[in-house]
Amino acid sequence: MSAAPLLEAQSVGKRFGAVVAAAELNVRLAAGERVSLIGSNGAGKTTFVNMITGYLKPDAGHIRFEGRDITSLSPRRIVQLGVARSFQIPQLFGELSVLDNMLVANACHDQHLSLWQGARRGEAIARAEQLLQRFSLADHRARRVVELPGGVRKLLDIAMALTVRPKLLLLDEPTSGVSAEEKFPMMDTIMAALGSERDTTVLFVEHDMDIVARYAQRVIAFYSGRIIADDVPERALAADDVRRYVTGELLQE
């Protein structure tokens, strides 16, 4: 962490009326890290992700990406700089096919949208299908999104985020709404797909501590908009505050 961080949040604050969603948050993420953001409902995890991606503007503090202040930039500009995200409820194009969803992501990434260059040209399709293969979605390529089960939608949501070749990928609860048996295979698929993007920093919001322990290199725990732990999973998950406010283990004892 001594090198210049990829992302740096400095004294970031956000309130919604009387509710403090973020209080003096200081977070630094290095290139290539796999970080999990944990916390109970309302702890401020998604608010933090929304502030990084420009959906919400902080009331105080600054967010820098590769040294550049992105606090007041639009989501679109932030994506263009290299920050992509997936959503807790997958944000897809329901009436389009899986392949067309990927082609839209491809086209948006090119930024200079053409009025005459075909969206379904060979190279774009090849690139889209390569990513679909990595996410085990190739069999669904022709299906419309509205016909897909929840887990497949989650994977597609993440695959689309990866199309823009992000330096920082934010995954908001990638396994929520997925059955317990499907969670690990799904995370295996995601991590395997991310395997060739070693320089991509991944910050994922997660509620399942088994998932966190297995896939994160570092854990940041939130409670009432504050960071109560920031360490490797073994130590972070064993911290008293995390056991009391996040996992609830101390309350049960």
The secondary structure of residue 19, as a DSSP letter, is E
Please, what is the minimum distance in Å from the beta carbon of residue 23 to another protein? Answer: 26
Name the residue among 66, 48, 56, 49 with its Cα closest to residue 8: 66
Nearer to another protein by C-beta: 63 or 229? 63
Nearer to another protein by C-beta: 12 or 84? 84
Distance in angstroms (rounded) separating the CA atoms of residues 77 and 90: 21
Distance in angstroms (rounded) separating the CA atoms of residues 36 and 210: 12
Nearer to another protein by C-beta: 129 or 182? 129
Please, what is the minimum distance in Å from the beta carbon of residue 80 to another protein? Answer: 5
Please, what is the minimum distance in Å from the beta carbon of residue 87 to another protein? Answer: 8
Show the CA angle centred on residue 21, arms to residues 169 and 187, nearest 5°. Answer: 30
Distance in angstroms (rounded) separating the CA atoms of residues 35 and 95: 34
Nearer to another protein by C-beta: 148 or 161? 161
Pairing, β 7-16 against β 168-172 = unpaired
Name the residue among 171, 223, 226 with its Cα closest to residue 194: 171
Please, what is the minimum distance in Å from the beta carbon of residue 77 to another protein? Answer: 9
Please, what is the minimum distance in Å from the beta carbon of residue 18 to another protein? Answer: 28
In this structure, the dihedral spanned by the alpha carbons of residues 191, 194, 195 and 197, taken in order and rounded to 10 degrees, is -160
Nearer to another protein by C-beta: 22 or 78? 78
Helix (H, G, I), strand (E, B) or coil at 121: coil
Interaction site with another protein (CB under 8 A)? 53, 74-76, 79-80, 84-85, 91-97, 100-101, 103-111, 113-120, 124, 142, 144, 160-161, 163-164
